[in-house]
Amino acid sequence: MRITKRQLKKIIKEERSKLCERGSLGAVGPSDSEPWVRYVIYPEDYISTAEEMLTPEELQTIGQQKLETLAIDLADELAYKLADSQEGFGSSDRTYEFQGYLEQLGFKTGFPNRSLEVIREGTMRVTRRQLQRIIKEEKRRVLNEYGGSHGQVSWYEDDIKEVLFNVEGYGEGLSQDTVWDLANDGDTDPEIIEDIQAAVEDWEDYMYSS
């Protein structure tokens, strides 16, 4: 028997509703038959962690059903475990829970940069979050070495020593002519215009001093 993703989500939702009605996980009050237990980490939290740290291809290989089933099992297990103990639960415990989830999905994990990461061997695969961090760090390095910034406008030199500007809300990698057009446009934010003028002057000072 094969079921669609929509059918699976409906089944999970119905089962969770039954648990809540019995005063089980996620309930908001006591039950006549058993004490209610609150989720410490919701299944959705496990799933969103996987979606952030794994590539689309890896997620497709695992399948949504396995992601959701394991997430619910771990959320249930953790909720009951802490309900029966006096143990505290901090941010590091939360991280280790997500680590266990990823490893049960079949991925090797570690903390090479003091944060939880998926360790991949052979061909390097980069997740969207890792790529965004790499781009951000590289931009910061370029600006520190070859550029400067004023308010919402920053400038830097590319590989052929041509100056380019990043203007928040207007674009990145803009030429000097383009930013001057922005500065002379009556619809441009006055603060942006001032930042453009300061950034261009800063670049000119840099050119004359180098």
pLDDT in tens, 95-138: 999 999 999 999 999 888 788 989 877 655 667 777 777 776 77
| Tokens of residue 68, six digits | 């959701």
Query: Can you tell me the distance from the alpha carbon of 210 to that of 201, in angstroms, rounded to the nearest whole number?
Result: 14
Q: Which of 103, 121, 139 is the last residue of a domain?
A: 121
Cβ(30)–Cβ(36) below 8 Å: yes
Structure tokens at 48: 């969103």
Most confident of 7-21, 43-57, 83-97: 43-57
The answer on 48 and 146 residing in a single domain is no
**Ramachandran quadrant class, 39 (left: phi over 0; alpha: psi -120 to 50; beta: rest):** beta
137 and 116, same domain (yes or no): no
In a shared domain, residues 101 and 60:
yes
Confidence of residue 201 (pLDDT cuts 50, 70, 90): confident
Ranges 44-48, 85-89, 115-119, 133-137, most confident? 44-48
Tokens of 207: 């050119």
Residue 122: per-residue pLDDT: 60
Q: Greater confidence, 32 or 79?
A: 79
- pTM of the entire predicted model: 0.44
Confidence check: pLDDT of 83 > 90: no
Number of domains the chain contains: 2
Determine the structural domain holding residue 69 and report its residue range. Answer: 5-121
176 and 157 share one domain: yes
Query: Do 87 and 22 fall into the same domain?
Result: yes
